Amino acid sequence: MLDSFIKKSRIKSPWLLHFDCGSCNGCDIETLACLTPLYDVERFGIINVGNPKHADILLVTGCVNHRNKHVLKTIYDQMPEPKVVVAIGACGLTGGVFRDAYNVVGGVDKVIPVDVYVPGCPGKPEAIIDGVVEALGKLSEKQNAAAAAVAAE
Amino acid sequence: MQAFEIGLNPATFGWLLVGLLVAPVAGGLIAGVDRILTAKCQSRVGPPLLQPFYDAAKLWGKETKVSNVWIAFCSWMYFTAAATSCVMFFLQSDLLIIFFVQAVGAVFLVIGALSVPSPYSQIGGQRELLQIMAYEPLLILVFVGIFLATGSFNISAVYAMDKPLMLESGVVPMVLLFVVLGYALTIKLRKSPFDISGSHHAHQEIVRGVFTEYSGRYLALVEVAHWYEVVLVLGVVALFWATSWYAIVILLVLTYAAEILVDNITARLSWRAMLGKLWASGLALSFVSLAWLYAF
Amino acid sequence: MLDTLLFILIVLPFLAGLGCYVLRAEGVRSLIVVATGGILAAASVMLYFQTPFTYPVEASVQATLFGVSLDEIIMVADFLLLAVILYFGVRHKNAIIVALAILQGALGAYLEFGLIEHAPKAYPTFVIDTLALVMVLIISIVGSLICVFAIPYMKEHEHHLHLPASKQPRFFLVLVAFLGAMNGLVMANDLAYFYFFFEVTTLCSFLLIGHDETEIATKNAVRALWMNSLGGAALMIGIVWIYSELGTLEIAKVISQQHTSAAMLVALGLLCFAGFTKAAQMPFQSWLLGAMVAPTPVSALLHSSTMVKAGVYLVVRFAPAYADTNLGLAVALCGAFTFLGTAALAVGQSNGKKILAYSTISNLGLIVACAGIGTPTAITAAILIIIFHAVSKGLLFLCVGTIEHGIGSRDIEDMRGVYGKMPVTALITMAGVVTMILPPFGMLLGKWMAIESSAGSLFVIVMLALGSAITVLYWARWAGGLMSVEGGEKFKTESQAALTRAPLMILCFGAVVLSFLAPWIYSDMVVPLIKLSPYAVAAGGLQSGAGSFAVIPLFIVGLIGFGVAINALRKARSSHAFDAPYMAGIQSPAVAGAYTGPMNKPVVVTTGNYYLSAVFGEEKLTPYGNFAAIALLVLMFALGGLF
């Protein structure tokens, strides 16, 4: 019973970590707009935490460069399982207009596995919320897969 | 031996269960209501009522990774101490001892935070100690006031009185002490302006301060322990008008509403401002009310 | 039987000390110290089964030592002792010491040859009640353990100093003889004896503080001597005064009634004053802080668990004589003020031994405050705090000494993460801190009693409430810092000499077990002394009308919680899933505990405690504190005598 409640709770309590990987702040403004009364993502139990150790979903905006790729990787590694990653905006997806710059690695998925891509320049708040909901589906898939792996052992 | 009588006496055993099992549920519900009301203050809808339970359950199911194993130890010690102090409250034990047992939890929470060399949790731990230092004398003096009114530190003595505690000795001293208790309550609820060590909101300037390094099920334990503590402190608030259930409910609702309002309209203080303001005004108020109580 | 026990407890340490001095071989010395410690501990336990008793049993019989009247030996030794102090005063060119020694000599001569009628005295020389017994047990067991700890410690200590000739024979002479002096002091029923032993402890303290003969050590030793001589002079004046008022030097007689006359209260105030100097109450705290330059076993033995307790013993012993008087209230205020003031001073310190010193003074202040309040519950609190403080604080001093030898520093900032290097010592230190401040352990039991029994005194209770909150701050941050280390794997246990490890283990074990036995200690040790039972022992807890503390049930719950927590720790360790501390994601891949700074260079993160020196700094608080404390002392004499 506790297990099923925990499963249900995972979907109902996604804590976000928002990492700005070198964005122009367009996507960041739209992401934070989700917290405002207009969109109020706390309705879905979403909290914007500042700490990877407490987070379930990593929201990344902006393109990855050689200097901050380690930071992105470290933060991702510090998140406890189960976790999912949502890349936001054109830059987060592919590197966007910066992708050919000498210091740019590219999209987020060059460094860490990305589960959901939210396109846009910037991504609209509705699209970001949609992406998070999509990510929750992935989260429950992951947890089912993990449970199956445990059962197989 | 009385220790065994506790098990045999159904009323006492019932209260033990209330303290152990009902209290954390009530604490979680209070936290849920708190979040909804806070959202309403900010013209938002807010999360479901059961959100704190979802959060705790999710955290319990997360992978356990710590940077120092003392985090695991300290989170359990915090949990045990908080639960014990809450149960002792419902068993109508000695207020000072209840409070000292609660302090065991607070101290272990800090030791856990300090056991990890992360700057955020270190600062959080230090600030938490300052918070403890700020509220502890105030609570002791409130309890001394209750002692002067009832003749005992045991909670049972409060229930044995005919009149509400608030009306003791011509209202003034007890109302002053109630205000002092409000200061301590604000710190214990981790609400602005005294949430310097780790806010109950998700985010602050030192990440999550004293909680930064607690993760997964250890954070879940800390959350549930916090619910116990909230019930305990609200219980002490209720003692001030414990002659009828209606009065208790009204007093608690008003006090908690005031806390939420204060949380939403104030900014976080620095440690120096917190300590200065709390000690200056809290000690002055409690000194006046205790002097009043001695005089009558 | 009785005379053998008393001989062992008082005279044997002096002889053993001489043995250490004369037989200079290291092995012989270790053997003597360990054997003396064992015999003393055994004798004190045997004393437990004899208590209470008086000696000589027949009041008309005069006590003798080797056939010579003990009274005469003490009298001669007294003047010799003052001559030695005078000599040190002259040698260090300190006018205060010289003047005070001459004053005490003159008063002593006046008392001995002018006042006292030398008829055979009609009262026993020694009275052993449970208060004396408590002290004897602490001195003989905790003290002996510390002496044993000193054997490997001093070897290592001298190893660092590269001395031409070992000074250990003299060191152990004083250290071991001191145990005898303390035992004599707490059992004496004659003020003249009491005075003699009191002065012996002063001299021992002086010799041991100055042991290293550095400039600072000598300076601090001289300061300790003049401050304690001030207390000695006050004691001597008080004794002369009491004799001229009551015509007796018998302590039991003095405390058998409450005194209300102004003259007697001033005399008793002088005795309390002597107690304050010995217990380093504010404004005399500076000598005890200076005493921390001495080797750590000295700090542990003289300056925390036993000698300074002689000061509070004096105040507690005479508490029945000034109970319910203004003097009592004033003593309570002085004690409570010291409790608060030195706790605040401890916040600003990072030197571990200084923190321990301030904390010691603070707890002694709490005991003094309890004695001043003087109700049965307060006296109970005082005695319990004496017991539990001696064990826990002795332990913590030894821990600091051990850590200091391990890491080469006594600063608590340097002790950060010591768990990684010396896990066993760090855990024992942690246990020591927990027994100092948290329930269900004995110190907190005493503090609880103290707060509940002082609830009737407005100023005292406010100071106690503030002081106890500040106390939690400086202990908890120390304990947390010890554990501050990255990684969760099991650290390698450090190797230690058996004579180092054993005292640590025994004291740690003792601190926990004694706390568990607190209800029985209360009914066995406290009730017979105060001849009242303010607390009812029921269900393994203590209850009074004012409150209740369920010691044993709390222990059981605590043990369950501890078991669960340890189990969780083991699980977390065996999962091997460790995570780096959060550093905003920029930790250096190459260097542990560092982040990647400018130019990709690793920058090691350093964290420190808040010492709040803007508010709690030593130089900020001390002048105000001393001023207020002096004002309180004046108030004490004014309240006691003039009004």
Task: Work out the pLDDT band at B267, boundaries 50, 70, 90.
Answer: confident
Q: Which residue is closest to A45 within chain B, CA to CA?
A: B47
| Element of type H or E holding A57 | strand A57-61
Structure tokens at C364: 């002694």
The closest of C357, C375, C380 to C279, measured between CA atoms, is C357
Any chain B CB within 8 A of the CB of A124? no
Domain count, chain C: 1
**Which pLDDT belongs to residue B225?**
95
Q: Which residues contact C53 (CB under 8 A, 6 or more apart)?
A: C2, C128
CA distance C472 to chain B (A): 7
C218 burial level (CB within 10 Å; 0-12, 13-18, 19+): middle
Instruction: Give me the helix-helix angle, B245-265 and B216-238, nearest 10°.
Output: 120
Any chain B CB within 8 A of the CB of C161? no
CA distance A80 to chain B (A): 5
Say if strands C547-549 and C541-544 run parallel, antiparallel, or are unpaired: antiparallel
Local structure of residue C163 (DSSP, 8 states): -
Tell if the pTM clears 0.90, that is, is over it.
yes
Q: Which residues pair with C369 in a beta bridge?
A: none
**Other chains touching A, judged by 3 or more CB pairs under 8 Å:** B, C
From the candidates C437, C466, C470, C591, which should be mutated to test the interface with B, based on the most B CB atoms within 10 A?
C466
The shortest CB-CB distance from A75 to any of C585, C589, C596 is to C585
- Rounded Cα–Cα distance for residues C534 and C516 (Å): 20
| Length, in residues, of chain B | 296
pLDDT tens-digit readout, B163-211: 888 887 778 888 899 999 999 899 888 888 888 888 777 666 788 888 9
Sheet (strand A84-88) strand order? A47-49, A15-20, A57-61, A84-88, A116-118
Contact indicator for C393, C359 with CB cutoff of 8 Å: yes
**Which pLDDT belongs to residue C596?**
85
CA distance B55 to chain C (A): 21
Contact indicator for C229, C81 with CB cutoff of 8 Å: no
In this predicted structure, the answer to whether residue B154 has a pLDDT above a threshold of 80 is: yes
From the candidates B43, B54, B68, which should be mutated to test the interface with A, based on the most A CB atoms within 10 A?
B54
Q: How many CA atoms lie within 13 A of C428 on its CB side?
A: 30
In this complex, do A12 and B207 lie within 8 Å of one another by their Cβ atoms?
Answer: no
Contact indicator for C252, C189 with CB cutoff of 8 Å: yes
Q: What is the ipTM of this complex?
A: 0.92
Q: How far, in Å, are B155, B184, C460 from residue C455 at the CA level?
A: 16, 20, 8
**Percentages helix, strand, coil for chain B, rounded to the nearest 5?**
75, 0, 25
Contact indicator for C382, C370 with CB cutoff of 8 Å: yes
Q: Residue C471 falls within a domain, yes or no?
A: yes
> What are the residue boundaries of the structural domains of chain A, listed by start?
13-148
Q: Which residue has the tokens 């909670």?
A: B155
The shortest CB-CB distance from B153 to any of C487, C546, C557 is to C546
- Rounded Cα–Cα distance for residues B37 and B233 (Å): 20
Domain count, chain B: 1
C542 burial level (CB within 10 Å; 0-12, 13-18, 19+): buried
The shortest CB-CB distance from A51 to any of C582, C587, C589 is to C582
The shortest CB-CB distance from C484 to any of B115, B215, B294 is to B115
Q: Residue C572 falls within a domain, yes or no?
A: yes
Any chain B CB within 8 A of the CB of A33? no
| Element of type H or E holding C534 | none
| Chain B environment of A2 (Cβ under 8 Å) | 57, 60
C220 burial level (CB within 10 Å; 0-12, 13-18, 19+): buried
Q: C residues 467-506 near B, CB within 8 Å?
A: 468-470, 472-473, 476-477, 479-481, 483-488
**Which pLDDT belongs to residue C563?**
94
Q: B residues 224-263 near C, CB within 8 Å?
A: none
In this complex, do A52 and C586 lie within 8 Å of one another by their Cβ atoms?
Answer: no
The closest of C432, C295, C409, C417 to C350, measured between CA atoms, is C409
Determine the structural domain holding residue B185 and report its residue range.
Answer: 10-295
Structure tokens at C641: 């005598």
Any chain C CB within 8 A of the CB of A74? yes
A119 burial level (CB within 10 Å; 0-12, 13-18, 19+): middle
Say if strands C64-65 and C536-538 run parallel, antiparallel, or are unpaired: unpaired
The closest of C437, C533, C536, C448 to C477, measured between CA atoms, is C437
**Other chains touching B, judged by 3 or more CB pairs under 8 Å:** A, C
Q: Residue B2 falls within a domain, yes or no?
A: no
Give the dihedral sign, CA C99/C100/C105/C108: positive
The shortest CB-CB distance from B215 to any of A13, A43, A80 is to A80
Q: Which residues pair with C543 in a beta bridge?
A: C536, C548
In the three-class reduction of DSSP (H, G, I as helix; E, B as strand; rest coil), residue C611 is classed as coil
- Rounded Cα–Cα distance for residues C192 and C197 (Å): 9
Determine the structural domain holding residue C400 and report its residue range.
Answer: 326-578
Q: C residues 509-568 near B, CB within 8 Å?
A: 538-540, 545-550, 552-554, 557-558, 560-562, 564-566, 568
pLDDT tens-digit readout, A79-118: 988 899 999 999 999 988 888 899 999 889 989 999 999 9
The closest of C159, C378, C289, C350 to C625, measured between CA atoms, is C289
The shortest CB-CB distance from C547 to any of B63, B132, B154 is to B154
In this complex, do A50 and B54 lie within 8 Å of one another by their Cβ atoms?
Answer: no
Any chain C CB within 8 A of the CB of B115? yes
**Which pLDDT belongs to residue B5?**
45
**Other chains touching C, judged by 3 or more CB pairs under 8 Å:** A, B
Give helix then strand counts, H and E, for chain B.
13, 0
> Nearest 5°: phi and psi at A147?
-65, -40
In this complex, do B66 and C579 lie within 8 Å of one another by their Cβ atoms?
Answer: yes
Strand locations in C561-637, DSSP E? Answer: 594-596, 602-604
Structure tokens at C115: 């006042």
In this complex, do C585 and A51 lie within 8 Å of one another by their Cβ atoms?
Answer: no
Q: Which residues of chain C have pLDDT under 70?
A: 59-60, 118-119, 488, 641-643
In this complex, do A54 and B215 lie within 8 Å of one another by their Cβ atoms?
Answer: yes
Q: Which residue is closest to C609 within chain B, CA to CA?
A: B126
pLDDT tens-digit readout, A14-60: 899 999 988 899 999 999 898 888 888 888 888 888 889 999 999 99
Any chain B CB within 8 A of the CB of A82? yes
Task: Work out the pLDDT band at B20, boundaries 50, 70, 90.
Answer: confident
Q: Which residue is closest to A73 within chain C, CA to CA?
A: C585
Q: Which residues contact A30 (CB under 8 A, 6 or more apart)?
A: A122, A123, A124, A125, A128
Report CA dihedral (B60, B65, B67, B70) to the nearest 10 degrees. Answer: 50
| Chain C environment of A72 (Cβ under 8 Å) | 585
Q: How many CA atoms lie within 13 A of C267 on its CB side?
A: 23
Contact indicator for C520, C552 with CB cutoff of 8 Å: no
Q: Which residue has the tokens 């030192």?
A: B206
Q: Which residue has the tokens 């005063």?
A: C89
- Rounded Cα–Cα distance for residues A124 and B20 (Å): 47
Q: Residue B1 falls within a domain, yes or no?
A: no
- Rounded Cα–Cα distance for residues C313 and A142 (Å): 69
Contact indicator for C308, C279 with CB cutoff of 8 Å: yes
Q: How many CA atoms lie within 13 A of A135 on its CB side?
A: 30
Any chain A CB within 8 A of the CB of B216? yes
Measured from the Cβ of residue C255, the count of other Cβ atoms closer than 10 Å reads 17
Q: What is the mean pLDDT of chain B?
A: 88
**String of DSSP letters for C248-314:** --BHHHHTTS---SHHHHHHHHHHHHHHHHHTT-TTSHHHHHHGGGS-HHHHHIIIIISHHHHHHHH
Any chain B CB within 8 A of the CB of A144? no
CA–CA–CA angle C256, C258, C259 (5° rounding): 115
Q: So what's the architecture of A13-148 in CATH?
A: 3-Layer(aba) Sandwich (3.40)
The shortest CB-CB distance from B208 to any of A40, A42, A50 is to A50
